[in-house]
């Protein structure tokens, strides 16, 4: 790519590649030159940049919270068993490692500018919590690993008081969509068997 007409606007993929520094020198220069004269693409880049920044901030907030919990747990054990410091530091490292492998992912779904995909996963038998914005259409990827194999599962979304706000049946891919989004609050996403038995529960925070 050595030139680009002023009327040839950037695609979503090109904007993402530009923001994440995936472009070669020549290609990046051409896109930068286009952005100097195209206000439409300037607005698109600013919008995407704000979105990426918000998602990174949410991920950092979640990681900090998990690290703090892991560290506080280690400090409590140190008070009770200071004589066994080697074991304490081993637990600290294990706790930090568990935090680093927590599966938290938020991304814009392909082909849609409004739907947000979130992955609720399980690591070391603990379900992760995720945060999203209120009113956003959601594509929820549920971690079904380790559950009894079935053609479908019932999924219930309940609010803080336990009242059901959404219900759906999902297949083995574990994908659930909420087109209208959710209002602000804390929710529980519960996966149930065909007989109604609770198999797994995830926390979901909507701000």
Q: Which tens digits make up the pLDDT trace of 132-176?
A: 888 888 989 898 988 999 999 999 999 988 899 999 999 988 999
Domain identity same for 139 and 202? yes
Is 55 domain-assigned?
Answer: yes
Is 193 domain-assigned?
Answer: yes
* Residue-number span of the structural domain to which 153 is assigned: 111-206
Domain identity same for 54 and 141? no
CATH number at residue 142: 2.60.40.420
pLDDT of residue 22: 80
Where in the chain does DSSP place strands (E)? 104-108, 115-120, 122-123, 126-127, 129-132, 137-142, 152-159, 164-171, 175-178, 185-192, 198-206
| Residues 75, 76, 81, 86, CA torsion sign | negative
Domain identity same for 118 and 185? yes
- Give the list of residues 6+ apart from residue 49 with CB closer than 8 angstroms, or none: 19
pLDDT of residue 78: 55
Q: What is the DSSP letter of 5?
A: -
pLDDT of residue 89: 45
Where in 101-184 does DSSP place strands (E)? 104-108, 115-120, 122-123, 126-127, 129-132, 137-142, 152-159, 164-171, 175-178
Domain end position, chosen among 22, 42, 61: 61
Domain identity same for 129 and 196? yes
- Give the list of residues 6+ apart from residue 18 with CB closer than 8 angstroms, or none: 10, 28, 31, 45
* N-terminal to C-terminal alpha carbon distance within the chain: 42
pLDDT of residue 112: 45
pLDDT of residue 92: 45
- In a structure prediction context, what are the per-residue pLDDT tens digits for the chain, which is 207 residues long? 556 666 688 888 888 888 877 877 788 888 888 888 888 888 888 887 776 666 666 656 666 666 666 666 655 655 555 544 554 444 444 443 333 333 334 444 444 446 788 888 876 555 556 788 888 889 898 989 889 999 999 999 999 888 999 999 999 889 999 988 899 999 999 999 989 999 999 889 998
Q: How many domains does the chain have?
A: 2
Q: 127 - beta bridge partners?
A: 122
Helix, strand or coil, per DSSP, at residue 117 = strand
Domain end position, chosen among 43, 61, 79: 61
Q: 129 - beta bridge partners?
A: 203
Is 105 domain-assigned?
Answer: no
């Amino acid at each position: 790519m050595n030139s680009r007409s002023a009327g040839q606007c950037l695609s979503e993929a090109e904007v993402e590649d530009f923001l994440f520094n995936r472009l070669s020198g020549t290609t990046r220069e051409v896109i930068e030159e286009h952005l100097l004269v195209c206000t439409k693409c300037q607005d698109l880049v600013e919008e995407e940049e704000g979105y990426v920044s918000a998602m990174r901030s949410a991920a950092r907030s979640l990681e900090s919270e998990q690290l703090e919990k892991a560290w506080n747990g280690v400090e409590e054990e140190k008070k009770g068993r200071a004589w066994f410091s080697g074991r304490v530091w081993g637990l600290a490292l294990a706790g930090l490692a568990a935090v680093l492998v927590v599966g938290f992912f938020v991304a814009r779904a392909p082909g849609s500018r409004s739907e947000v995909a979130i992955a609720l996963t399980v690591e070391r038998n603990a379900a992760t919590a995720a945060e999203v914005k209120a009113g956003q259409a959601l594509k929820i990827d549920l971690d079904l690993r380790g559950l009894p194999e079935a053609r479908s599962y019932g999924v219930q979304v309940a609010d803080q008081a336990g009242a059901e706000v959404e219900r759906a049946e999902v297949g083995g891919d574990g994908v659930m969509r909420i087109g209208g989004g959710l209002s602000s609050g804390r929710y529980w996403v519960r996966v149930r068997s065909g007989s109604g038995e609770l198999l797994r529960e995830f926390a979901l925070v909507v701000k």
